[in-house]
Structure 1
Amino acid sequence: MANRRGNAKTREQSDKYSVLLPTYNERENLPLIVWLLVKYFGESGYNYEIIVIDDGSPDGTLQIAEQLQKIYGADKILLRPRAQKLGLGTAYIHGIKHASGNYVIIMDADLSHHPKFIPQFIEKQKEGGFDLVSGTRYRGDGGVYGWDLRRKLISRGANFITQVLLRPGASDLTGSFRLAL
């Protein structure tokens, strides 16, 4: 079946997913999130790379990432550290510059985004030929765990305001769990 991006069968075989993992003090979470990513990509058979963008974490996150690179291979775990904390948005831009995949997945390294949903993102994207698939905390299987009341209120409030002002039709504009072309 052909679509606007060429033959779907050929594209599917050559598709590669670059997962961007910005980190700052994620020493404890990084091994688990990487293991889960490797597990779900391995089970699904999709080609991938994980790009760790550490912003000078003082807790040794980069050293853990280096160990993970030795375990899983430099072709699967790419380290693109920065000397200091420069922010999430610029971390994503930095990661995109180093991505070799034709799709990019952005997600948090703090385990707030479960990698088990990535194969569902990919299938949804393929079914609809979408340029963007976004996870949501506020519909279906989504949710927030481990957040205090203040963080929940800020997230809900920001999403409410954007719904009223912009009427985008998306249920979670403040989340950062997305697959994009």
Structure 2
Amino acid sequence: MEEEEEQQQQQKKGKKKYYSIIVPTYNERLNIALLVYLIFKHLRDVDFEIIVVDDGSPDGTQEVVKQLQEVYGEDRILLRARPRKMGLGTAYSHGLKHASGDFIIIMDADLSHHPKYLPSFIRKQQETGASIVTGTRYVRGGGVHGWNLMRKLTSRGANVLAQTLLWPGVSDLTGSFRLYQRSVLEDVINSCVSKGYVFQMEMIVRASRKGYHIEEVPVTFVDRVFGSSKLGGSEIVEYLKGLVYLLLTT
């Protein structure tokens, strides 16, 4: 199995720029098929693969992904499951091990990150040579749809607090819709210690401290339609702990 994957990776690297899209999932049966359809729709002229890292979803997410493999091919849809929930950071590391792309795109499975923005990410990277292109809700053209006022204030407040303390040079620290040069992601991810929602903030802060070229693309974040949000009080506490940790260590 590993030998076959390595051969496929070598074949893909011989082509034009290749993109690996890593999508962590947990109970996303109702969203994953539409997400995959939209990715294929908006990236018709791009060479890419989708790597689904599912953490043992009990709702049948993996069965849907296997059906998608029958439609699009196992070389385009890779299911790389894990037995249980093990954290967002390790999900990206796991997906990266199986990725063939020169560039890695990370995005959520719940349709909050619309694939229509992917061409603008790719175009921005090609125009600027950026190491990282990150989606931002907090510049002209970006925004949030479907959140109540309290959640908007919480998100904005978290970003303002982080901006004030860490000065990372980007406007949206907690977003998780990004494109990385593969070597940059490998470098940054190895320097991170966070496992949960703090991981995204740590990734971009450490990348900034390392001097990588970061560009932003405005995106509108849409609250999930199906399923329940996985963000709760414990994640907010972890965010604040992570903020202090980064303040002391970067």
Structure 2 length as normaliser, TM-score? Answer: 0.65
Deviation string 1:98-127 (CA, Å, 9 cap, x unpaired) is 100010000001111111111111111011
Q: Does 1:116 align with 2:116?
A: yes
Deviation string 1:11-55 (CA, Å, 9 cap, x unpaired) is 9x621000000001111110111000011111xx11000000011
Q: Distance in 2 between matches of 1:145 and 1:99?
A: 31
List, as ranges, runs of 4+ consecutive aligned residues in structure 1 with deviation greater than 4 Å.
Answer: none
Q: Distance in 2 between matches of 1:48 and 1:103?
A: 9
Q: Distance in 2 between matches of 1:151 and 1:20?
A: 26
Q: Distance in 1 between matches of 2:60 and 2:101?
A: 28
Task: Please tell me whether the aligned partners of residues 112 and 145 of structure 1 are also in contact (alpha carbons under 8 angstroms).
Answer: no
Name the structure 2 match of 1:153: 153
TM-superposed CA distance for 1:91, in Å, is 0.7
Residues 61-80 of structure 1 mapped to structure 2, 5 A cutoff: 61-80=61-80
Structure 1, unmatched stretches of 5+, are 1-10
Of 102-111 and 166-175, more deviation after overlay is shown by 166-175
Name the structure 2 match of 1:20: 22
Name the structure 1 match of 2:239: none
Q: Distance in 2 between matches of 1:58 and 1:175?
A: 26
Q: Distance in 1 between matches of 2:141 and 2:61?
A: 30
Name the structure 2 match of 1:29: 31
TM-superposed CA distance for 1:160, in Å, is 0.7
What's the secondary structure of 1:144's corresponding residue?
strand
TM-superposed CA distance for 1:157, in Å, is 1.8
Name the structure 1 match of 2:136: 136
Deviation string 1:38-94 (CA, Å, 9 cap, x unpaired) is 11111xx11000000011111111111111111111111000010101111111111
Task: Please tell me whether the aligned partners of residues 49 and 75 of structure 1 are also in contact (alpha carbons under 8 angstroms).
Answer: yes
What's the secondary structure of 1:18's corresponding residue?
strand
Q: Distance in 2 between matches of 1:79 and 1:85?
A: 15
Calculate percent identity across the aligned residue pairs: 61
Name the structure 1 match of 2:195: none
Structure 1 length as normaliser, TM-score? Answer: 0.88
Structure 2, unmatched stretches of 5+, are 1-12, 182-250
Name the structure 1 match of 2:223: none
